[in-house]
């Protein structure tokens, strides 16, 4: 049986209070992170009496994975703070907060599909370079070993290892600060976390292989 798409709606009393720039900023940050977790569409709206937030998901499992994440807790806390600063009383002002299964829905072109949204997750260029460093070196070692010099691959291994001994500690510090910054801002998605881990482990294993290598050119 095919999974049913769901919506999540959050409706709050507005009374005479106004939507502030801080509320908009916190809500847009929340919805932006939700998109990286598979949210198919979202709306932040108001009328004279209510504030309305709507998100749409491919299935309830995707929604619950987002709601159980640390990112959700961080962004939700920022939303509550911005609403409280504007005079809202959360949770007393909440009129409706529920998940509903979509029975009938029209699909329009302005709803991007889930793959397009998930593909928008950005990886830091330095992290991408770190992830590709070892595969590139190995590829060049294979190519160079096919040349006229029998020791070209060996020298490439030595020089790349020496370079990594200098660059790896610097990258480790950079990666720690980058990961902390993304986590603080609720942008550390599972995809980004996986790339960060691999970009650290793969060069580390290569470096360990280099420092324990006891061979020689002869």
CATH number at residue 100: 3.30.70.100
Is the same domain home to 69 and 131? no
Through-space distance between the first and last CA atoms of the chain, rounded to whole angstroms? 65
Whether 38 is in a domain gets the answer yes
Choose between 187 and 216: higher pLDDT.
187
Whether 217 is in a domain gets the answer no
pLDDT value for 210: 87
If 0-12 CB within 10 Å is exposed, 13-18 middle and 19+ buried, where does residue 18 land?
exposed
pLDDT value for 106: 61
In sequence order, which residues have a C-beta less than 8 Å from that of residue 79 and are 6 or more positions away?
A: 23, 26, 27, 30
Residue after which a domain boundary falls, among 118, 145, 171: 118
Residue after which a domain boundary falls, among 64, 97, 118: 118
- The domain of 103 spans 6-118
Whether 216 is in a domain gets the answer no
pLDDT value for 58: 86
Task: Give residue 132's Cα distance to chain centre.
Answer: 19
Cα(155)–Cα(137) distance, rounded to whole angstroms? 11
pTM, whole model, 2 decimals? 0.48
Q: Note the pLDDT tens digit of each residue in 168-196.
A: 999 999 999 999 888 877 778 888 889 99
Highest mean pLDDT among 41-50, 111-120, 138-147: 41-50
Whether 186 is in a domain gets the answer yes
Mean pLDDT for the chain?
Answer: 83
Residue 110 pLDDT > 70: no
Total domains in the fold of the chain: 2
Residue 7 pLDDT > 70: yes
The radius of gyration computed from the CA coordinates of the chain, to the nearest angstrom, equals 25
Residue 87 pLDDT > 60: yes
Choose between 87 and 183: higher pLDDT.
87
What is the average pLDDT across 55-82?
90
- Distances 157 to 53, 109, 201 between C-alpha atoms, Å: 55, 51, 18
Residue 165 pLDDT > 60: yes
Residue after which a domain boundary falls, among 76, 94, 118: 118
CB 188 within 8 Å of CB 182: yes
Is the same domain home to 177 and 87? no
Is the same domain home to 13 and 73? yes
pLDDT value for 175: 93
Band the pLDDT of 107: cuts 50, 70, 90.
low
């Amino acid at each position: 049986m095919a999974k049913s798409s769901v919506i999540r709606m959050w409706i709050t009393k507005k009374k005479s209070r106004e939507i502030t720039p801080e509320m908009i900023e916190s809500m847009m940050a929340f919805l932006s992170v939700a998109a990286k977790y598979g949210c198919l569409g979202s709306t932040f709206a108001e009328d004279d009496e209510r504030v309305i937030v709507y998100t749409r998901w491919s299935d309830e499992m995707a929604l619950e994975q987002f709601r159980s994440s640390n990112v959700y807790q961080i962004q939700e806390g920022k939303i509550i703070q911005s609403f409280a600063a504007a005079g809202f009383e959360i949770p007393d002002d909440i009129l409706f907060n529920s998940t509903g299964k979509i029975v009938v829905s029209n699909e329009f072109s302005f709803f991007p599909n889930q793959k397009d949204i998930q593909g928008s997750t950005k990886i830091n260029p330095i992290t991408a370079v770190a992830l590709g460093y070892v595969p590139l070196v190995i590829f060049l070692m294979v190519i160079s070993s096919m040349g006229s010099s029998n020791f070209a691959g060996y020298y490439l291994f030595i020089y790349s290892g020496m370079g990594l001994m200098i660059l790896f500690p610097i990258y480790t510090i950079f990666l720690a600060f980058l990961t902390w910054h993304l986590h603080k801002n609720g942008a550390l998605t599972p995809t980004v976390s996986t790339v960060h881990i691999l970009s650290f482990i793969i060069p580390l294993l290569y470096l360990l292989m280099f420092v324990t290598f006891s061979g020689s050119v002869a």
